[in-house]
Amino acid sequence: MKRSIRDLVDLKGKRVLLRTDFNVPMDKVGRILDQTRITAEIPTIRYLVNQGAKVIICTHLGRPNGYEISLSLWPISLILMKYFPGKVQFSQKTVGDKVKQQIESLPDGSIILLENVRFHKEEMEDDPVFAKELASLADIYVNDAFGCCHRKHASTYGVARLLPNAIGFLVEKELNAIQDAMDHPKRPFVAIFGGFKVEDKIKVLKNMIDIADTILIGGAMAYPFLVAQWIPVGLSPSRPECVAIAEQILKDAQAKGKKIILPVDHVAYRSDDKKHKPFVTDTLQSNMIACDIGPKTIALFEKEIRGAKQVLWNGPLGKYEDKEFKNGTMKIAEIVASSKCYSIVGGGDSVSAVNKSGKANMISHLSTGGGATMKLFEGNSLPCIEVIQEKII
Ligand code: ADP
Ligand code: 3PG
Ligand code: MG
């Protein structure tokens, strides 16, 4: 069992570097669409504040290429201020002397949010010098960034090796809920995959064949699978390397007697239509871009979900942010919520979509992890949890 923040003693006045995952969904103009990942973190922050620690929060947002103003964490600091009035500061830098000075003058029981750690490319490289710089800001490291525990980066992995460390309440809660569903899956077990991070997640899907009984695929994840079956996808995105993996997955599923269900109709628009007027179609012609699953697909998916005892869902089934293309995701959210199965929904956008459907309170476990949750289901350990010290009993 890993050491938890409850096991840390004498936190008063201690500088605690708290890695969170505040990688929240944003709209085109930089407004936060869903605050679940922030609110899920409040118990850990409150605990540290109440213990009198100086809480140094570090997170990433998006996948910036150097500094990008639209991915600054300033708006997130405003949300934190609502929960902890008069106790939150924002640092425009992530590391360096100026940050150190700001931390030095931070009153005990207060919070400082560091600027987006991914503005430094060294973060993603798990650069040891950068990890050392982060470590020099604090006395203790707490990892509560469940959603990025599969990323071996400087702020999630490298720095943990340099400081006394522990996991936070959110990581603890996620591990308990997911471990149970993995160790004792209720069958039939239906996995639903969608979303846009196809290259990342298609590899996870490969291993899911052994775990789930049926796999439903929608969103941008579906296109390489359709192409692998020589079904035209028009201009919908599909990379050749993903098509090759999809082909293998379809063969494996057939050999193992597992069902994979793909979209049979779509909500699409024509690329030469400036208004992107949506229409339902069974076949995607060369000038069409599909952005949602159609009604026949929803009915096929519903049948499987209604018969399931456990459902795991990652990735919206269409561009749910646009009202023209949200129907598939909203309908599936309603079906999952109203079915009697044990349901786990994971991923920043997936949780945001379920919240939008108004059915979030009917989901058994809403996970803040997307890729991280999938990795656990694959049976892999998460490197950023592994690196945390074991609890001394
Ligand atoms: P999560 O955050 O839940 O892990 P992802 O980040 O992988 O999910 O994917 C979410 C994104 O996928 C959303 O921004 C959504 O608009 C996009 N998406 C889903 N389906 C499609 C599609 N058919 N075409 C384009 N984008 C899609
Ligand atoms: C997520 O949203 O899944 C995590 O925050 C990790 O983000 P990443 O896929 O950009 O590393
Ligand atoms: Mg996402």
Per-residue pLDDT for 393 more than 80?
Answer: no
Residue 21 Cβ inside 6 Å of ligand 1? The answer reads no
Ligand having the closest approach to the CA of 351: 1
| 64: DSSP letter | -
pLDDT for residue 234: 97
pLDDT digits (tens, 9 = 90+) for 260-285: 999 999 999 999 999 999 999 999 99
CA of 317 from ligand 2 middle (Å) equals 18
| pTM to 2 decimal places | 0.88
The span from the CA of 155 to the CA of 166, in Å, is: 14
Task: State the pLDDT at residue 374.
Answer: 85
Rounded average pLDDT over 231-258: 96
182 pLDDT more than 90: no
Q: How far apart are CA 141 and CA 221, in angstroms?
A: 36
Burial label, 113 (beta-carbon count in 10 A; 0-12, 13-18, 19+) = buried
Residues 6+ apart with CB under 8 A from 370: 147, 195, 197, 201, 314, 315, 346, 347, 348, 349, 350
The pLDDT of residue 348 is above 90: no
Per-residue pLDDT tens digits for 32-42: 999 999 999 99
Q: Where are the beta strands (DSSP E) in the chain?
A: 15-19, 54-58, 88-91, 111-114, 140-143, 165-167, 189-193, 214-217, 259-261, 266-270, 279-281, 288-293, 310-314, 342-346, 365-367
Q: With 90 as the cut, is the pLDDT of residue 207 above it?
A: no
- Provide the pLDDT for residue 354: 95
Q: Please give the pLDDT value at position 155.
A: 98
Is the pLDDT reported for residue 308 higher than 80?
yes
Q: How far is CA 235 from CA 107, 142, 244, 346, in A?
A: 55, 44, 18, 28
DSSP 362: G
Please tell me whether the peptide bond between 188 and the residue prior to it is cis, using omega within 30 degrees of 0: yes
Based on the residue annotation, tell me whether 371 is a catalytic residue of this protein. yes
**Confidence grade of residue 293 (pLDDT, cut at 50, 70, 90):** very high
- Quote the mean pLDDT of the chain: 95
Q: What is the pLDDT of residue 16?
A: 98
Report residue 351's pLDDT band, with 50, 70 and 90 as the boundaries. Answer: very high
Ligand 1 within 6 A of CB of 370 = yes
3-state helix, strand, coil in the chain (%, to 5): 40, 20, 40
The ligand placed nearest to the CA atom of residue 353 is: 1
Ligand 2 lined by 168 (C-beta under 6 Å): no
Report residue 17's pLDDT band, with 50, 70 and 90 as the boundaries.
Answer: very high
Q: Ligand 1: which of 349, 354, 377 to mutate, most ligand atoms within 8 Å of CB?
A: 349
Spatial distance between the Cα atoms of 17 and 186, rounded to a whole number of angstroms:
38
Give the pLDDT score at 204. 84
How many CB atoms are located within 10 Å of the residue 346 CB? 26
Task: Please state the atom number of ligand 1 nearest to the C-alpha of residue 350.
Answer: 3
Q: Of 294, 147, 279, nearest to 218 (Cα)?
A: 294
| Predicted confidence (pLDDT) at residue 27 exceeds the cutoff of 90 | no
What is the pLDDT at residue 392? 82
pLDDT of residue 263: 98
Can you give the pLDDT at residue 30?
Answer: 80
Report pLDDT for 362: 96
147 within ligand 2 shell (Cβ under 6 A): yes
